[in-house]
Homo-oligomer: A and B are copies of this chain.
Amino acid sequence: MDDIAADPSHPRYASLLMRHRLEVAAERGMLAGSAMIAHGRGEAFDYLLGERTTESARQASLQALAHLHHATRPVLSVNGNVAALASDAMLRLAAFLSCPLEVNIFYRTPERMKAILSFLDERKNALGLDVEVLGHAPDATIPGLKGPRAACHKDGILTSDAILVPLEDGDRCEALVNMGKTVIVIDLNPLSRSARLATVTIVDELSRALEIMLDATEDLTKLAIDADYDHRDVLDAGLQEMLNGLKKD
């Protein structure tokens, strides 16, 4: 890690910390070959957002938490980049929701699954949290997907009614939506297929979005589902924030 990443007051601290986490995860074999490139794409969109949580993103995060809180069988999906960047926050959120966390990766290999599961296990023990981590023994498939990327747990993703899938691929997001689930996506690109298809899309950097959700768990009055919430309106607001970011000159 660059020296400046050791100084939380440095303006690039958060960004360098995320890069450092990815480097550690890459060394542990948790990441797909395209992981760093995907992260870079996110960085560019975050740059356009001004690397801050917008009002529309905050609104989406609270609506997302409300959906998960009121779901009968919520589940949090974790891929390599999510495990690298935000294992602690995802575990804390799962603990609050008393729901399982399921490792579900696009380029599934036994080695990567093992590396991610082992990392989550370490973090779970370090935090002393009682969270069920799935992914080790998939016994079901997501309809509409082919090959290893369809694999999931019956007691996890398959029968969930609400699912948080941060940084998710478009095809997988579509398959989950087609299953009738409430699908919550965290995606910095408001034009991506995942961002458009989801029930609730949080256009924000992963760790910032999760921090807002975790902060909100301390005030249960905030956890009502907003019946007037308009997915497209909130997405358009995020897009408008980026347009403003490009225009500032």
Please give, as numbers and ranges, the residues of chain B lying within 8 Å of A249 by CB-CB distance.
Answer: 236, 239
Q: A222 on the interface (CB 8 Å rule)?
A: no
Residues of B within 8 A of A242 (CB): 246
Q: Which residues of A contact B (CB under 8 A)?
A: 19, 22-23, 33-34, 36-45, 47, 189, 191, 236, 239, 242-243, 246-247, 249
Q: Which residues of B contact A239 (CB under 8 A)?
A: 246, 249
User: How distant is the Cα of A4 from the Cα of B187 in the complex, in angstroms?
Assistant: 25
Given contacts A36-B40, A236-B249, 10 further A-B contacts (CB under 8 A): A22-B37, A23-B33, A36-B36, A37-B37, A39-B40, A40-B42, A40-B44, A41-B44, A43-B44, A191-B246
Set B19, B22, B243: member contacting A243, Cβ < 8 A: B243
Q: Which of B37, B243, B247 makes the CB contact (< 8 A) with A36?
A: B37
Tell me the smallest distance from the CB of A227 to a CB of chain B, in Å: 25
CB-nearest residue of chain B relative to A16?
B34
How many angstroms between the C-alpha atoms of A175 and B33 in the bound complex?
Answer: 34
- How would you classify the secondary structure of chain A's contact residues: helix, strand, loop or mixed? helix
Q: Which residues of B contact A44 (CB under 8 A)?
A: 40-45, 189
Give the Cβ gap from A44 to chain B, nearest Cβ, in Å.
Answer: 3
Q: Which of B40, B45, B191 contacts A37 (CB 8 A)?
A: B40
Identify 10 residue pairs between A and B in the complex whose beta-carbon atoms are under 8 Å apart, listed by A's number.
Answer: A36-B37, A37-B39, A37-B40, A38-B40, A40-B40, A44-B189, A191-B246, A239-B246, A239-B249, A243-B247
Q: Closest residue to A22 on the B side, CB-wise?
A: B37
Give the residue name and chain of the B residue nearest to A236 (CB).
Answer: B249
Instruction: Closest B residue to A19 by CB, please name it.
Output: B37
- In whole angstroms, what is the CA distance A223 to B34 when docked? 39
CB contact between A40 and one of B23, B41, B236, B247 (< 8 Å): that residue: B41
Across the A-B interface, give the 3 residue pairs with the lowest CB-CB distance, nearest first.
A40-B40, A36-B36, A44-B44
Contacts of A43 in B (CB 8 A): 37, 40-41, 44
Q: CA separation between A236 and B249, bound complex, in Å?
A: 9
